[in-house]
Structures are given as C-alpha cells and as structure tokens.
Amino acid sequence: MREQRQIVELWQRGGARVLVTLVRVEGSSYRQPGARLLLGETGEYAGTISGGCLETEVTRKAAWKTRDGAVVQRYSTLFDDTSEIPFGLGCGGVVDLLLEPINTPECVAALEAIRRSFKGESSKIVTWLPGEGRTLRRVVLGQSGEIVFASDGLSEKKLACASDLQPGMVYDGRFVEEIRCPQKMFVLGAGDDARPLVTMAAMMGWSVTVADGRAQLAKAERFPEAEQVLVLGENGLRGLGICPKDAVVVMTHSYEQDRALVSALLPIAPRYLGLLGARHRSSLLVSEAASIAGLSVEQCCERIRAPIGLDLGGDGPDAIALAVIAEVQAVCMGRQGSSRRITAEDVARYVNEGGVSRYLSAQCAS
C-alpha cells in the first residue's frame, strides 16, 4: 500500500511516462499480480514489479515498447547461467507485464482508482489486455458496482460480464483486480511507546489514527506519520467511526481507561483488537470487560489479542512495535504468522529429485 501512495505522488507531480502492471505469474515470483511500477521521464520511478531483477531492463525499454500504445511483455526469471541476459538471477518463474503510456484515458482511470482508495473508496478494474490486433480497454467499477469509467466501444454485454468477474485472475485476456483501501489502524494511547508503532504502520501504507484522553500527549507533532491525532472526550470512541474491518491497539497504560475502551470495542469486534499489558493484567481486564459488554469470557478471548503481538523476542518499544505490526499484518491477511523456512526435506525434493533446472522448468510449464 505504501508503494501505491508513492506511485500516486509521482503521477501527481507530473513527468510520469509509463505505468507497468504485473498481470500474470507462472511459477514463482517475488511479486503477485497487481504489483505496479510507474516510470518517470527523467529516470525516477515508484513501485516494484520484481525483487530488482526486472526493473532496470523494463525502465530502459518501456518508452520504446509503448511508442505505439500499450503492450504485454513476457519476462523469464528462471535461473539460467547460459543466458546472455539473465533477468531472473534465479527467482524461478515467468511473468507477464502490461506496459501502458501514461497519457491515455484508461491509464488515468486506473491511477484515479488508486487515488480514491486512499479516501476509503474501493474499486474493481477489468482490463482487456492488448495483443493480436486488440488494443487495451478498461472498465472501473466503484465499490457499489457502479461504472466509474469505461473505454469507448465496450458493449453492454461486456460491461455486464465485467461485474461478474472475480479479482485476482486473467479470464480470456481480461485482467481483473481489486483496488483495496489502506488498512485502517487506530492506536488508542499516545505514550512514547506508541510512536514507533505509528511509524511502522505508516511504513506499511496503513491509515493510522492516534487517540488519547490526555491532550498533552495527543499532539500531531508527536506523530507526524499519523493521518489523524485526536483527543478523546466524553463521547469516547463514538467519534472515531471504528468498524469491524479496522485494526485497533489499546495501550493507554491506564487500567481503567483500557477497560472502558475494550468494553466499548468488544461489541464492534474489529478485525484486530490488541491489548498491551502483562498476561495477568489482561486476564483480569478481559473478565471485567466481558461483564460490562454483556459477553462471555470465551467470546471476548476470541475477539482480542492479549498479550499483544507475535512472540518475536526482544525488548523495548521498537521490538514491541515490530511484534504488534507483524501480528496485525498476519491477522488482516488471514494468516497465522507461521514460519516459512525450508526444511531438509524441501532441499532433497527440489535439488536431489531431478535437479534445480528440471524443477524450475516444471514450474514454468505448470
């Protein structure tokens, strides 16, 4: 999400030239479909479409490739030490990239959809990819399914079909993607230990709001990366607009304030609700908050993360912030934060049984 903000910033400054979008992956890839790279006229760029394997080559040739309009280019990232131009350096896959000049209605519509996502408006984009005599065409659907933009010449049948396609796939030459809004994160507590948490959340591209009842701490200058810094008044959370899709961290360091906040948050059931504090403190607080909220302790424990954060080890505000951000990311992406380290069995399967080259070739062909 941070990359999307940087892409929009470069576009709005002017001087952008070509927008590159990863639309298809075969085998393994550092990035997934929907990743973007915006190229400027003087060599600057924002975003990435690989781990660094392809950016230089794409940047060098993008303007020339799009001289007659949008094109789809295929690049191999398979490990091949006999290749004269080893793009991949061993990433192990093949990717299709859509390159489109910036000064077209279709490209502007895509960038506008990304810009609107920062204001809380999600979109679905369906792109008819160019090739074999076909030119690029695009439709952008708003979060209620309304047509925000449609290329000239798209029939009613094609527009109706676009609304039924699911994001994340290529259907008969049509790339479908969802432009999601940034994850909203509310940090309730403006102590010094909240500052690295807000900084890391902003680095993720999330929309961060800090709120605290202590006016001397809830100051914008203390949290320059936050979108909002608010003082909680008598109405408590009612003015914040917290909803079930949001992430909330409670860290006021006041037992009474934490209990009041958690009691009000439990019925909302945010996607992530974390409580800072020791296990015995959290246990007592949850038992009392459950009674106040009219919920069972079991229901409360299902809705709250306490003690907060993944068990990464370390100490101090920075280490705690990292553990919290990692847990929020895992929960919001539907993951449990399990290890992805390779095992000896993986090595045997990928290397000894047929060799690296055969394995990567099989990936490409699958």
Nearest to 77 by CA among 63, 94, 62, 97: 94
- For 273, the domain range is 184-332
Asked, for residue 262, whether it belongs to a domain, the answer is yes
Separation between Cα atoms, residue 35 and residue 267, nearest integer Å: 36
**For residue 364, is it within any domain?**
no
In a domain, 361, yes or no: no
Per-residue pLDDT of 186-198, as tens digits, reads 999 999 999 999 9
| pLDDT value of residue 84 | 47
Residue 225 and residue 162 share a domain: no
C-alpha–C-alpha distance, residues 240 and 280, integer Å:
29
CATH number at residue 232: 3.40.50.720
Domain C-terminal end among 134, 160, 181: 181
Burial track 183-212 (b if 16+ CB lie within 10 A, e otherwise): bbbbbbbbbebbbbbbbbbbebebbbbbbb
Residue 70 lies in a domain: yes
Note whether residue 344 is domain-resident: no
Q: Which of 140, 162, 181 is the last residue of a domain?
A: 181
pLDDT for the residue numbered 346: 66
Q: pTM of the prediction? A: 0.81
DSSP per-residue codes, 199-265:
HHHHHTT-EEEEEES-TTT--GGG-TT-SEEEE--TTGGGGT---TT-EEEE--S-HHHHHHHHHHH
- Within this chain, do residues 193 and 130 fall inside the same structural domain, yes or no? no
The verdict on residue 339 lying in a domain is no
Question: In this structure, are 175 and 198 located in the same domain?
Answer: no
How distant, in Å, are the alpha carbons of 133, 191, 261 from that of 186? Answer: 50, 14, 12
What parts of the chain have a pLDDT lower than 70? Answer: 77-92, 337-344, 346-347, 349-366
- Say what the pLDDT of residue 133 is: 85
Indicate if 137 and 259 belong to the same structural domain: no
CA distance 169 to 121: 21
154 and 215 part of one domain? no
Number of domains in the chain: 3
Q: In this predicted model, what pLDDT tens digit does every residue of 20-34 receive, in sequence order?
A: 999 998 877 778 889
Domain co-membership, 283 together with 219: yes
Residue 156 falls inside a structural domain: yes
45 in any annotated domain: yes
